[in-house]
Amino acid sequence: MEEKNRNSRRLQILIIVLVVVALAAISVPFYTRKVHTLRMNRVTSDFSYLARHLEEFKTDWGSYPVVPNGEYFGKNTDDVEITATLTIELSGSGTDLPYLNIPGGTSLTDRDGGIEYIEPGRILMLYNPFNSSQDYYYRTDESGSKWVLSLFLPDGKVLYRSNQMTTITEEDFAPIP
């Protein structure tokens, strides 16, 4: 009788373990997809937000902030001191040339320079949600007539959006504007 109870107990434990394993097998892929979706939503939102303000900047100054060699910007880059050209131009914190948006300057729409398109604190909240120790990347052509926003994924691929598209694309590398 004692042996029968032991076997019954073992069977119950085995069934419980199998149920837990089955639930884990179902929930882990769901969780992974959900996290990826949330990260993509964050990137989509951030890139849309930046695109809107880049368009406002171009309306006022005739070009996008010019960074032909590209640069990182956001939480990790600008936290101690704002150094990224994009951050300086969109926050209106530039003080001298080569920046366009500086106090004493006048935009094409007759606005005084030093315009805060995005508050610095909001820019400092931006980072690559797929790798929190890495920021977003911004690049323009030489004239500032085209831009590309991008981020690097852990697998080496790149998510990007440009002024010529409204969707985010995944490729092996971001195009040069």
Q: How confident is the model at residue 8 (pLDDT cuts 50, 70, 90)?
A: confident
SS (H, E, C) the chain: CHHHHHHHHHHHHHHHHHHHHHHHHHHHHHHHHHHHHHHHHHHHHHHHHHHHHHHHHHHHHCCCCCCCCCEEECHHHHCCCCCCHHHHHHHCCCCCCCCCCCCCCECCCCCECCCCCCCHHHHCCCCCCCCCCCCEEEEECCCCCCEEEEEECCCCCEEEEECCCCCCEEECCCCCC
pLDDT greater than 90 at residue 175:
no
Sheet-wide strand order for 169-171: 71-73, 136-140, 147-152, 158-162, 169-171
Q: pLDDT (tens digit, 9 = 90+) per residue, 63-92?
A: 999 999 999 999 999 988 899 999 999 999
Q: pLDDT (tens digit, 9 = 90+) per residue, 53-63?
A: 999 999 999 99
Instruction: Specify the pTM.
Output: 0.83
Q: Where are the domains of the chain?
A: 2-171
State the average pLDDT over residues 154-167: 94
Contact 119, 87 (CB under 8 A): no
Phi, psi of 103, rounded to the nearest 5 degrees: -55, 140
Tokens of 121: 């604190």
CA dist 105 → 10, 73, 84, 120 (Å):
80, 24, 20, 20
Question: Smallest Cα–Cα separation from 139: which of 160, 124, 118?
Answer: 160
